[in-house]
Amino acid sequence: MQHGSALLTTPFGSHARAQEVIDSVDLTGRRAVVTGGASGLGAETVRALATAGAEVTIATRRPQSAEPLVQELAAVAGAGRVHAEALDLSDTASVDAFTRTWSGPLDILVANAGIMALPTRTLTPGGWEMQLATNHLGHFALATGLHTALRDAGSARIVVVSSGAHLGAPFDFEDPHFARRPYDPWAAYGQSKSADILFTVGARRWAADRITANALNPGYILTRLQRHVDDDTMRAFGVMDDQGNVKPLPYYKTPEQGAATSVLLAASPLLEGVTGRYFEDNQEARTVRDREDQPGGVAAHALDPEAADRLWEYSTDALHTA
């Protein structure tokens, strides 16, 4: 399932900063939406795109939380306009309201928002497991709802933030919401991130509309994404000491470094026309078929075009019955 062509490489290292990967790229006149853009990786993605000239909409559950970033970028000479709009990805009515009120073309959609490792099985009012609802189904509804705007841009890009956690968790079509199998926070998270990658593979059906879609693993970064992870697990990961102080390990990235691959896929001319691929550390990742000793890579199950089409149908049906 690896692409016939060689893996795409770029001159940027694993810890390049977001601003570096689009240095000299002019996004004036382009419009972008970044979900979860008020903090963490999303905020750094917004900063990089806006300072390159793009008009950026921060789509977030609490628009007021984005106000400091909006004000900061309003003072940057040459930056595109930045504003915040309400969007709750776990609420289909909220997604519908966002897509209905959008007008004009959309050049870049960064599906960045996410939740991780909810300790107990939590369902949306529509009966969806919350991590799958937020990380995949909500973004699927957003992208399909904005399809016309993306098509009208003439050369649009969708960027989906996935995770290495997908490696051990294929999408379970028989029980995606853990109705029968025991709920596991990390299996649920990993499944949602496999779904994220499969969505970008399935989006090949939009190639004729000149819409590309690629997924990425941002690497290890400490952000609010870890807020549901208990202290014992954080200590087991080696990022919390006995006093409860959180500290990154040497190979961890800063949020600005973690956002680099998102920004690369969103705006670099190196990615022109590239679609349905998975990147990490600013390079296209190799395919792995079983859990291997060496870290990284993308699981074959996440690039399977048949699974991608099946998930597209499943997701479409889920939205129609929501």
State the sign of the Cα–Cα–Cα–Cα dihedral 2, 170, 206, 274: negative
Look at residue 284 and tell me whether its pLDDT is greater than 90. yes
Average confidence (pLDDT) over 25-44: 96
Look at residue 2 and tell me whether its pLDDT is greater than 70. no
pLDDT score, position 69: 97
Mean pLDDT of the chain: 91
Task: Determine the Cα–Cα distance for residues 123 and 178; give it in Å rounded to an integer.
Answer: 10
Task: Determine the Cα–Cα distance for residues 137 and 35; give it in Å rounded to an integer.
Answer: 13
Contacts of 197 (CB under 8 A, 6+ apart): 160, 162, 166, 215, 278, 298, 302, 303
pLDDT score, position 322: 77
Give me 92's structure tokens. 């289909």
What secondary structure does DSSP assign to 26-41, as a single string? Answer: --TT-EEEEETTTSHH
Find the radius of gyration of the CA atoms of the chain: 18
pLDDT score, position 213: 98
Task: Determine the Cα–Cα distance for residues 283 and 264; give it in Å rounded to an integer.
Answer: 10
Three-class DSSP labels, 51-91: HCCCEEEEEECCHHHHHHHHHHHHCCCCCCCEEEEECCCCC
Burial of 11 (0-12, 13-18, 19+ CB in 10 A): exposed
| DSSP assignment letter at 253 | B
Split at pLDDT 50, 70, 90, the class of 233 is low
State the sign of the Cα–Cα–Cα–Cα dihedral 189, 191, 195, 201: positive
Look at residue 225 and tell me whether its pLDDT is greater than 90. no
Catalytic site residue from 189, 220, 251, 252:
189
pLDDT score, position 44: 96
Q: How confident is the model over 159-217, as pLDDT tens digits?
A: 999 999 999 899 999 999 999 999 999 999 999 999 999 999 999 999 999 999 999 99
Task: Determine the Cα–Cα distance for residues 234 and 49; give it in Å rounded to an integer.
Answer: 32
Which DSSP helix (H) or strand (E) runs through 217? strand 211-217
pTM as predicted: 0.92
Look at residue 219 and tell me whether its pLDDT is greater than 50. yes
Of all residues in the chain, what percent carry a pLDDT higher than 70?
87
Residues β-bridged to residue 240:
246
Average confidence (pLDDT) over 23-41: 96
Q: Identify the three-state secondary structure at position 136.
A: helix
Q: Angle at which helices 138-145 and 305-320 pack, to 10 degrees?
A: 90
Give me 150's structure tokens. 């993306």
Q: Which residue has the higher pLDDT, 227 or 219?
A: 219
Question: What domains appear along the chain, each with residue ranges and CATH number?
Answer: 18-228+254-321 (3.40.50.720)
Task: Determine the Cα–Cα distance for residues 30 and 105; give it in Å rounded to an integer.
Answer: 9
Look at residue 291 and tell me whether its pLDDT is greater than 80. no
Split at pLDDT 50, 70, 90, the class of 117 is confident
Question: What is the CB neighbour count within 10 angstroms for residue 22?
Answer: 21
Split at pLDDT 50, 70, 90, the class of 1 is very low
Q: How confident is the model over 64-94, as pLDDT tens digits?
A: 999 999 999 999 999 999 999 999 999 999 9
Task: Determine the Cα–Cα distance for residues 196 and 276; give it in Å rounded to an integer.
Answer: 11
Nearest to residue 203, comparing CAs of 151, 154, 152, 153? Answer: 151
Q: Which residue has the higher pLDDT, 226 or 199?
A: 199
pLDDT score, position 116: 84
Q: Identify the three-state secondary structure at position 43.
A: helix
Question: What is the CB neighbour count within 10 angstroms for residue 293?
Answer: 4
Q: How confident is the model over 142-162, as pLDDT tens digits?
A: 999 999 999 999 999 999 999
Question: What is the CB neighbour count within 10 angstroms for residue 313?
Answer: 11
Task: Determine the Cα–Cα distance for residues 91 and 291; give it in Å rounded to an integer.
Answer: 34
Give me 204's structure tokens. 């090949």
Look at residue 227 and tell me whether its pLDDT is greater than 80. no
Active site includes 189? Answer: yes
Split at pLDDT 50, 70, 90, the class of 25 is very high
